[in-house]
Chains A and B, each alone.
Chain A
Amino acid sequence: MSTDPQMTAERVRGPVIQVRGLAKAYKELHVLRGVDVEVARGSIFALLGSNGAGKTTVVRILSTLLKPDAGTATVNGFDVATQAARVRESISLTGQFAAVDEILSGRENLVLVARLRHLRDPGGIADELLARFALTDAGTRRVSTYSGGMRRRLDIAMSLIGDPPVIFLDEPTTGLDPQARLEVWQAVRELARQGTTVLLTTQYLDEAEQLADRIAILHQGRIIANGTLPELKRLLPPAKVEYVEKQPTLEDVFLAIVGDDGTDSTAGAASPAGTKNRGTR
């Protein structure tokens, strides 16, 4: 993804997410101690941090679910504290744990969200998203019968309805198999290509490496590093050149054997011949 047009957009319209001095404590536990972050419009921004670093807390504050103790945050030009309603019109949230209606079917879930966003042709929107996330066959089944990955895909699909300019994805690929993960990555890139700003949190460093235009690391309540991947790499001492035989990673092996054609994992295993062809290098 080229960064030049985005840099221009940034200068023209300013950052779409602006966070200053954000602080939040749960009783004695000071989770955020002054977080400063800016996210450029149309970019993919990854927030990294270990378990309990406060990533979800930041996302919940930005999506108006939680009030900060101190500091300000604006999304799409609206203050999360004083213009919550306008913020909600500008965003969509995919929380850390799938927020889907188990009793309804996948399609009904999508129709529900489309109706609540006051869109025309909710049925058409639902069908299109089912197709895009390889859920058409399961569309009329109750979500309680879905696998974790299907649920997650539905969850993300629900967040795309209405094309909000900003999307928050809290650990979107946790619990997904490698193919589903690649599909989600693809969807995220597609969003950014269409101009949507994506703020995602993750614990997978490769996910941030693959997707993000900028990466910030949240540690002990503050952003301790923030930059593009090359910028962050420059923080380390220069790399030594070593010669090592390149072994396929386990992920390469897994994808080769199972087949990475992006279909549902229930669609059938790859043929033995295919396995052999793809598996040998």
Chain B
Amino acid sequence: MTKHFVSDTLVLLGRSLRHISRSPDTIITTAIMPIAFMLLFVYVFGGAIRTGSDRYVNYLLPGILLITVASGISYTAFRLFLDMKGGIFERFQSMPVARSSVLWAHVLTSLVANLISLVLVVLVALGMGFRSGAGVAQWLAVAGIMMLFTLALTWLAVIPGLTAKSVDGASAFSYPLIFLPFVSSAFVPTESMPGPVRAFAENQPVTSIANTIRDLFAQQQVGGDIWIALAWCVGLLVVAYGAAMAVYHRRTG
């Protein structure tokens, strides 16, 4: 059965991508909230925030990219939930389709959809004055980290997608993820925060990931942050994947 894993996954990926192309609003709404945050922070709060970089939007963008993914993955949970609910999932389960293809198709779709949303956000940022001297290698590194981050969060999103009892339940889990960047170095440097908040901010994943991406954009030497960032992403990916697969096998036997 696994001999068809790749082809089955591609067929199901094609199906999901068609879903997205027929409701492009999901990609737009994914991008709108982070863009609104970006406008708000750059043009309203930005003047009062001291970051040490010449343009605040340069400082801000990495965090905005992370928020984009955090809100984008809730659509994976949503689409998976609808599949479960609608019975098409059971049809696939009763067919000689490679077992995990159904999940992988949703996960790969999430990668594609989030990539498009991220590109939209970057384009708006460029319009707002974001500039980076980063070369191809740095951009690829940024893309790689974002993909890893998206992959990890998407597998996390698979869990509520499989277990939720309602549409709201399927997407509500992403709210805390969207909130996480606010208590990190994404918007303001952590030095300005009071002790315990600062301790939390400096030791949660968003800070190391945002700092790494910011350094890559600024063509600065990436410090130890990149290893912490990668460790967080890979760690989360492994845990989320394992948990999602366990839930999947428990639900489908």
Chain A interface residue number, banded? 20 to 34
Q: Is A118 an interface residue (CB 8 A)?
A: yes
- Cross-interface CB contact of B18 among A93, A97, A100, A108, cutoff 8 Å: A108
Chain B interface residue number, banded? 20 to 34
Q: Is B52 an interface residue (CB 8 A)?
A: no
Given contacts A64-B94, A67-B253, is CB(A116)–CB(B8) below 8 Å? yes
Q: Which of A111-127 contact B (CB under 8 A)?
A: 112-113, 115-118
Q: Is A88 an interface residue (CB 8 A)?
A: yes
Chain B residues within CB distance 8 Å of chain A: 1, 4, 7-8, 11-12, 15, 18-19, 22-23, 86-88, 90-97, 252-253
Are the CB atoms of B94 and A98 closer together than 8 Å? Answer: no
Given contacts A99-B87, A118-B4, is CB(A93)–CB(B253) below 8 Å? no
Chain A to chain B contacts (Cβ below 8 Å), 16 pairs: A65-B93, A65-B253, A85-B96, A88-B96, A92-B94, A92-B95, A93-B94, A95-B87, A99-B86, A99-B91, A103-B19, A103-B23, A113-B95, A116-B11, A117-B96, A142-B22
Are the CB atoms of A104 and B18 closer together than 8 Å? Answer: yes
Given contacts A97-B87, A99-B86, is CB(A116)–CB(B92) below 8 Å? yes
Q: Is A91 an interface residue (CB 8 A)?
A: yes
Are the CB atoms of A116 and B87 closer together than 8 Å? Answer: no
Q: Is A158 an interface residue (CB 8 A)?
A: yes
* Contacts beyond the supplied A88-B97, A103-B22: 9 A-B pairs with Cβ under 8 Å: A65-B93, A65-B94, A88-B96, A98-B87, A99-B87, A101-B15, A103-B23, A116-B8, A117-B95
In this complex, what residue of A is CB-closest to B21?
A103
Q: Which residues of A contact B7 (CB under 8 A)?
A: 118
The smallest beta-carbon distance between A151 and chain B, in angstroms, is 11
The smallest beta-carbon distance between A154 and chain B, in angstroms, is 12
Q: Which residues of A contact B94 (CB under 8 A)?
A: 63-65, 88, 91-93
- Cross-interface CB contact of B15 among A93, A112, A117, A118, cutoff 8 Å: A112
Q: Which residues of B contact A142 (CB under 8 A)?
A: 22
In this complex, what residue of B is CB-closest to A168?
B94
Are the CB atoms of A112 and B22 closer together than 8 Å? Answer: no
Q: Which residues of A contact B93 (CB under 8 A)?
A: 64-65
Of B8, B15, B19, chain A has the most CB atoms within 10 Å of the CB of B15
The smallest beta-carbon distance between A109 and chain B, in angstroms, is 9
